[in-house]
Each structure stands twice: as C-alpha cells, then as structure tokens.
C-alpha cells in the first residue's frame, strides 16, 4: 500500500513539474548572463500625439504587448523628423526585437529603419508607409478607398448627378489635402481624384483651389481656407478635405462666413469631434477606420515575426502602386483593412452603438430631446 502511495506521489510531482515548465515558457523572454531572464523589448515610435487617434492606439498596443509578456519602449517625435530617427536608433541600441512605427516622413525615416533591419529588428510600418523594402510589413486601411468615399460623400451631398450647370454654373470645389510628407495623403488624393475627375470631364465641377496642409494641422487648414474664401469671394460649393482635423479647421473659416452646414465637407477617422460636428449638421461625412482592428493586428504581427511563426493574410504590393510613383521599385508585404463612410444617417449605428466613440462625446451640446436613446 505504501509503495503504491509513494509511486502515486512521484507521478503527481512529475506532472506538476512538467506543467510548471510549460507555463514558464509561455511568455517571450531573453536569457541574460547568469541565467537571468529578461523580457523581450518591442518599440513603438509615433510621429506625434497631437493627432487624436495616435495616443489611443499607443495605449492599446502597449496594453496588448504587455499582456503577451513584452517590455514596451514608446516614443513620440512631435512632428520632428530628426528626433524620430534618433528615437528609433536609440530603441535599437536598447535591444528591441521589433518596431511598430508611425513615421512623420516616410522617406526621411528610411535610413534609421534600414539600420534597424540590418540589426535584425522586425519593422512594421503602421498606417503610414515607410518607403523601404527593408520593412517586414506595412499594415493600414484601404487608403485609396478612403479618398473615394470622401469624394463620393461630398458629391452625394451636392446632388451632383442632378446639378443644373445651365442655371448654377459648374460646382466650385476645393481640394484640401493632408501633409505632403505622409504617403497616405497621396493615396487619399488618388482616390478622391478617381471620383472627381469624372465630374470634371462631364463639365459639372471645377477645382477652384488645391492645397496641402502641413502636419495635418487644423490651424494651418483654417488659414488656408480663410485665404481661399477671400480669393474666391466665398463662392465655393464643396470641400474635399482629407481628415477630421483639417476639416474642422476649415469649418472654422466656413462658420465665420456662415457657410458651415451649407458647403459640404469631408473628413476622416470618425473622431469624437468629427462625429459631433456631423450630428450638428456641419461636417458632412467622415471615414471610419476602426483602429480597434489595426492595433491588435500590429501586435499579433510583431509577436509572430519575433517568434518566427508563419503569418497569413499578407500580400505583396509594389512600392510603385503604394506610392503612386512609377519610379519606385521593389515589393512590400501588406495587409489592408476595410473602411466605412459615416454620415448623419448612420453615425449612431456605426460609431456609437459599436462603441468606437462614446455617446456623450458624439452628442455633446445636442439637446436631450434631439438625441437618440443611449445604446
């Protein structure tokens, strides 16, 4: 009897030791000198936190990476190209195994990124292209489709298909692009032009101003729109703007001339302020790019790259088609998520009920009797 009990105890101890060993292997780690275990480091590099969405995504990625057992190093460059390069170099020197980067300038970051790649660091370009074939992947949304949906939303609000050129003349349209250093701004413009060119060719619209907004800065957009309104004597019919920040800046100028809610204008990102402007009848359309899907995708991709695991869903795109520049060569593995057009008709369902933005933020300053029920 005692011998059987002794054997049973040995079996239990062996099982416990095996389980302990397996659990101990679940978190990624480096083994330092003297057998000391250190967490593997992952770096996050952001162009800025002035853009509303970036801080939210930084917090989400940090949380998800830490849950996987990684140590997270995070830096924000405040729109400073040199500072971002230095920050990337510094994180590489600290031993990060992967970098998730939102570049301020997709060209200027290339040198630092290629140095990181040579050091064995897996670099993921996050929602903005880094123009180097040394990156491990580029993940984003369908940015050409973003531009298409912006232009389509504005043209629908104009009822352009029924526009009476004989009595009204051509519809006078302003194009307000994003930062010229952001490759996404180029792709948004490509999509916008795919829609607008048809109506230009039909003689229904004319582009009366075409400007780019440095750093996506709303203050810059305000000044640009003030100058456009002055030059055009307030005679504009629509604005195709490339994100909520620049659109809201432009709207300040439109408000001053009592044109807010009269002149259709587009945005992007479905920010709280942008959606609030939509329900107030000012901003016409924004584009929902659900960052709740993109941030986890980046974390999962970084995890698999570090572990050398197989990755599904990536598709190679040429640098020429990603930049809309035929002189560019090489290919990059990419993953693009879908986007959705948000208007006053669907903002409640797409943005509020889905939990993307808070009810009280979207319906801020809206009288209670004019609000939909809380979800």
Per-residue three-class SS string for 91-103: HHHCCEEEEEEEC
What predicted TM-score, i.e. pTM, was given to this entire model?
0.80
Query: The dihedral of CA 303, 305, 310, 315: what is its sign?
Result: positive
Q: Is the pLDDT of residue 9 over 70?
A: no
CA dihedral 62, 67, 70, 72 (to 10 degrees): 20
- Calculate mean pLDDT across residues 9-33: 46
DSSP-derived secondary structure for 102-154 = E-S-TTTTHHHHHHHHHTT-EEEEESS--S-TTSSEEEEE-HHHHHHHHHHHH
Alpha helix segments (H runs only) across the chain: 2-24, 52-67, 81-93, 110-118, 143-158, 165-168, 183-201, 218-231, 244-256, 272-279, 291-307, 319-323, 347, 359-362
- Reduce the DSSP state of residue 257 to 3 states and report it: coil
Which domains are assigned to the chain? 35-142+290-337 (3.40.50.2300), 143-289+341-370 (3.40.50.2300)
Q: Are 170 and 238 in contact (CB under 8 A)?
A: no
**What angle, 0 to 180 degrees and rounded to 10, lies between the N-to-C axes of helices 52-67 and 291-307?**
40
Q: Are 329 and 321 in contact (CB under 8 A)?
A: no
The Cα 230–Cα 236 span in angstroms is: 11
* pLDDT at residue 52 in the model: 77
- Calculate mean pLDDT across residues 226-230: 98
* Short-list 112, 109, 47, CA closest to 78: 47
* pLDDT at residue 171 in the model: 98
* pLDDT at residue 17 in the model: 43
The Cα 135–Cα 125 span in angstroms is: 7
pLDDT, tens digit, 9 for 90 and up, residues 141-193: 999 999 999 999 999 999 999 999 999 999 999 999 999 989 999 999 999 99
pLDDT range class, residue 38, cuts 50, 70, 90: confident
* pLDDT at residue 324 in the model: 86
């Amino acid at each position: 009897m005692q011998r059987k009990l002794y054997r049973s105890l040995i079996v239990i101890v062996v099982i416990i030791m095996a389980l302990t060993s397996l659990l101990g292997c679940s978190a990624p780690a480096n083994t330092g000198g003297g057998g000391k275990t250190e967490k593997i480091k992952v770096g996050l590099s952001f162009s800025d936190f002035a853009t509303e969405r970036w801080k939210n995504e930084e917090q989400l990625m940090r949380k998800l990476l830490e849950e996987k057992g990684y140590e997270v190093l995070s830096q924000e460059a405040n729109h400073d190209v040199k500072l971002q390069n230095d920050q990337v170099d510094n994180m590489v020197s600290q031993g990060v195994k992967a970098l998730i980067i939102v570049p301020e300038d997709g060209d200027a970051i290339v040198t630092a990124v290629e140095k990181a790649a040579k050091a064995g660091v897996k670099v993921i370009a996050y929602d903005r292209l880094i123009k180097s074939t040394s990156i491990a992947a580029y993940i984003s949304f369908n940015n050409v489709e973003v531009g298409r949906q912006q232009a389509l939303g504005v043209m629908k609000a104009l009822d352009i298909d029924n526009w009476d050129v004989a009595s009204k003349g051509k519809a006078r349209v302003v194009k307000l692009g994003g930062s010229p250093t952001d490759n996404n701004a180029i792709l948004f413009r490509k999509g916008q032009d795919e829609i607008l060119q048809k109506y230009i060719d039909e003689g229904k619209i004319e582009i009366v101003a075409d400007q780019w907004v440095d750093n996506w800065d709303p203050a810059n957009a305000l000044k640009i729109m003030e100058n456009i309104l002055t030059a055009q004597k307030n005679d504009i019919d629509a604005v195709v703007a490339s994100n909520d920040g620049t659109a809201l800046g432009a709207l300040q100028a439109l408000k001053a001339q009592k044109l807010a809610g009269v002149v259709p204008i587009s945005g992007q990102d479905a920010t709280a302020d942008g959606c609030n402007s939509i329900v107030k009848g000012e901003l016409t359309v924004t584009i929902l790019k659900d960052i709740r899907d993109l941030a986890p995708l980046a974390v999962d991709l970084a995890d698999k790259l570090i572990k050398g695991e197989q990755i599904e869903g990536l598709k190679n795109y040429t640098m020429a088609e990603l930049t809309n520049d035929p002189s560019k060569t090489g290919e990059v593995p990419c993953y693009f998520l879908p986007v959705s057009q948000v208007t006053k008709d669907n903002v409640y369902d797409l943005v509020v009920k889905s939990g993307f933005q808070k009810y009280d933020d979207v319906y801020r300053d809206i009288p209670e009797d004019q609000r939909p029920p809380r979800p």
